[in-house]
């Protein structure tokens, strides 16, 4: 029960409003109550003063015994029967006495000689004032006491207090009920959002929250939620097409395998023919193995696996190693390679080499003979960036974001799809992420640049350290001006001088 109350915003708000209303009513009521009581007390003292004034004049003029008798009669006439007002006169002379002064516990006193007395004999509390009337004629000095009952005031205050309490309670209850319904009306857009959100499902991925006519407090929430849906939708869509792509990539080799094996088995084939079939099969199996291994690699990277076996190395030396490996493809494509800059970073050398290989192969594929591929290694705070740039046609900006997607092919008909099944750049991205880095691509001024970065928190001071000499690719470091050298092999054989002609 408590849970459901806590969970309902409307109920909680109503409760809180009611509590606030109750506090305010109590505060105002208490104030009113105090003002009322002080006003009534003031009024009582004023009426006591009036009577005291009259009684004083009567007693003052009783200068003879006759006049004192008349004064006593007047005082009796002035005293109401219910005892709401009482007069008493006392003096040393027993003949100048009237009534009996109120005696009992004093419960309060005010300046001007006012005291509040709880009569010892019982009955309501009385407000009293006592004056000494100086002697005159035969009359000695007398003490004149006038007292008035507080009973009417007490009764009024009690009724007033009860009325205030009842009204506050009723008012709070009214606030509770009204604020509950008002809050429910106010929360109606939230219920609508909830209904919209509950309709989102994998079968209904395009469903979005309707943000029209939403109060601005909910607008942000709805937009964030829609943004999250958009991203999830995108990821889900990519996953779906990824699965379709994988199936498609595997379908081709499997079709070839089934087909050519069936053909081979339908007739009596020569050993040579069967060997051909098996060799062709093996090529398809190798291709499938490549796809499976790459997929497993990407899946592991997706699970957030980090690169292990990190070694702090000169990245220029690693790039040079990769360029050495790719010497032949560069040579065949008649493309040159230049490496600039250096930085030290902890990397898994094998993974790093693989990322460089993929980027460089990608660059070669988009180069024309005579072009130069430039590798630039630069530090950006805690990251080292390896950028591979090659001259090429501008890439459509809408495609830039997708170039690192799996199976994404910039050109639909890629000639080398047999060798590279469209996962090369996706693997670069995975390797960058395994090193807590990122990938980026830029296309401007006729140069396309693909880059990845690796995390390298340590500030290295050895950036100028020499890297091992590489036979054909000259590593150029800033700020030295670029000195380029062709990567074309030119006599780095084991025999420096020409082989002897004779036998």
How many C-alpha atoms does 241 have within 13 Å on its Cβ side? 9
Instruction: Return the H-helix or E-strand segment holding 441.
Output: strand 439-444
Is 471 one of the binding residues for another protein (CB under 8 A)?
yes
Tell me if 354 contacts another protein by CB under 8 A.
yes
The smaller minimum CB distance to another protein, of residues 238 and 349, is found at 349
Please give the Cα distance from 336 to 391 (Å, whole number): 12
Token code pair at residue 381 = 């705070």
Residues 6+ apart with CB under 8 A from 387: 375, 376, 377, 378, 449, 450, 451
Can you tell me which residue has the tokens 């006392």? 90
Nearer to another protein, 186 or 329 (CB): 329
Of 357-416, binders to another protein (CB under 8 A) are: 357, 361
User: Least distance to another protein from the beta carbon of 503, Å?
Assistant: 5
- Sequence-distant (≥ 6) Cβ neighbours of residue 238 within 8 angstroms: 405, 406
**Cα 78 vs. chain centroid, distance in angstroms?**
80
User: Which residues within the stretch 251-310 sit at the binding site for another protein (CB under 8 A)?
Assistant: 278-283, 286, 288-290, 292-294, 296, 300, 305, 308
Total binding residues toward another protein, as defined by CB under 8 A: 45
CB of 458 to another protein, least distance (A): 24
* Nearer to another protein among residue 212 and residue 499 (C-beta): 499
Which residue in 419, 466, 478, 484 binds another protein (CB under 8 A)? 419
Angle between helices 349-365 and 315-325 (to 10 degrees): 50
Residue range at the interface with another protein (CB under 8 A); choices 41-49, 140-148, 396-404, 419-427: 419-427
What are φ and ψ of residue 268, in 5° steps?
-75, 115
Measured distance CA(148)–CA(444) in Å, rounded: 103
Per CB under 8 A, does 198 bind another protein?
A: no
Q: Please give the residues from 315 up to 344 whose contact with another protein meets the rule CB under 8 A.
A: 321, 324-329, 332
Using CB under 8 A as the binding rule, whether residue 468 contacts another protein is answered as: no
Question: CA dist 35 to 40, 160, 429, Å?
Answer: 9, 12, 79
Q: Interface mask (CB under 8 A) for another protein, residues 480-499, using x and -?
A: ---------x-xxxxx--xx
420 binds another protein (CB under 8 A): yes
Beta bridge mates, 281: none
Contact 340, 320 (CB under 8 A): no
Report in angstroms how near the CB of residue 473 gets to another protein at its nearest.
Answer: 13
Residue 260 CB, shortest distance to another protein, in Å, is 13
Contact region with another protein (CB under 8 A), list: 72-80, 183-191, 240-248, 345-353: 345-353
Residue identified by tokens 């050895």 is 462
Nearer Cβ to another protein, position 348 or 374? 348
Per-residue DSSP letter, 134 = P
The answer for residues whose C-beta is within 8 angstroms of residue 67's C-beta and 6 or more apart is 61
Which residues sit at the interface with another protein, rule CB under 8 A? Answer: 278-283, 286, 288-290, 292-294, 296, 300, 305, 308, 321, 324-329, 332, 350-351, 353-354, 357, 361, 419-420, 424, 471, 489, 491-495, 498-500, 503
């Amino acid at each position: 029960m408590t849970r459901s109350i806590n969970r309902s915003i409307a109920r909680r708000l109503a409760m809180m409003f009611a509590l606030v209303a109750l506090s305010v009513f109590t505060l105002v009521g208490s104030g009113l109550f105090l003002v009322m009581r002080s006003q009534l007390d003031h009024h009582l003292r004023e009426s006591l003063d009036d009577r005291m004034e009259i009684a004083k004049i009567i007693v003052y003029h009783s200068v003879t015994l006759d006049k004192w008798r008349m004064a006593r009669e007047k005082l009796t006439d002035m005293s109401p029967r219910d005892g709401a007002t009482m007069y008493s006169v006392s003096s040393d002379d027993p003949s100048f006495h009237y009534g009996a002064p109120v005696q009992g516990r004093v419960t309060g006193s005010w300046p001007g000689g006012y005291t509040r007395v709880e009569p010892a004999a019982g009955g309501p509390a009385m407000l009293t004032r006592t004056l000494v009337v100086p002697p005159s004629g035969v009359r000695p000095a007398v003490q004149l006491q006038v007292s008035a009952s507080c009973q009417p005031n007490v009764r009024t205050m009690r009724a007033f207090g009860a009325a205030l309490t009842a009204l506050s309670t009723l008012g709070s209850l009214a606030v509770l009920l009204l604020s509950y319904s008002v809050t429910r009306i106010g929360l109606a857009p939230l219920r609508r959002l909830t209904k919209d959100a509950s309709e989102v499902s994998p079968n209904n991925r395009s469903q979005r929250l309707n943000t029209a006519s939403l109060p601005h407090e909910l607008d942000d929430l709805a937009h964030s939620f829609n943004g999250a849906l958009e991203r999830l939708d995108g990821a889900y869509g990519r996953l779906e097409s990824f699965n379709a792509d994988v199936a498609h990539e595997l379908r081709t080799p499997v079709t070839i395998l089934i087909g050519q094996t069936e053909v081979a088995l339908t007739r009596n084939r020569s050993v040579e023919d069967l060997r051909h079939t098996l060799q062709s099969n093996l090529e398809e199996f190798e291709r499938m193995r490549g796809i499976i291994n790459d997929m497993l690699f990407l899946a592991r990277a997706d699970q957030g696996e980090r690169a292990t076996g990190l070694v702090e190395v000169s990245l220029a030396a690693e790039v040079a190693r990769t360029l050495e490996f790719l010497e032949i493809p560069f040579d065949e494509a008649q493309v040159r390679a230049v490496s600039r800059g250096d930085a030290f970073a902890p990397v898994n050398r094998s993974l790093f080499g693989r990322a460089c290989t993929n980027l460089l192969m990608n660059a070669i594929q988009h180069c024309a003979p005579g072009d130069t591929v430039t590798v630039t290694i630069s530090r950006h705070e805690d990251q080292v960036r390896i950028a591979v740039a090659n001259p090429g046609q501008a890439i459509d900006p809408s495609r830039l974001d997708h170039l690192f997607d799996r199976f994404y092919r910039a050109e639909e008909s890629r000639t080398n799809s047999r060798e590279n099944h469209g996962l090369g750049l996706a693997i670069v991205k995975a390797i960058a992420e395994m090193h807590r880095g990122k990938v980026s691509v830029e296309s401007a001024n006729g140069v396309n640049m693909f880059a990845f970065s690796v995390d390298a928190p340590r500030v290295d001071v050895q950036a100028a350290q020499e890297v091992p000499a590489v036979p054909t690719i000259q590593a150029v470091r800033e700020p030295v001006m670029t000195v380029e050298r062709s990567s074309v092999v030119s006599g780095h054989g084991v025999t420096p001088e020409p082989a002897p002609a004779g036998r």
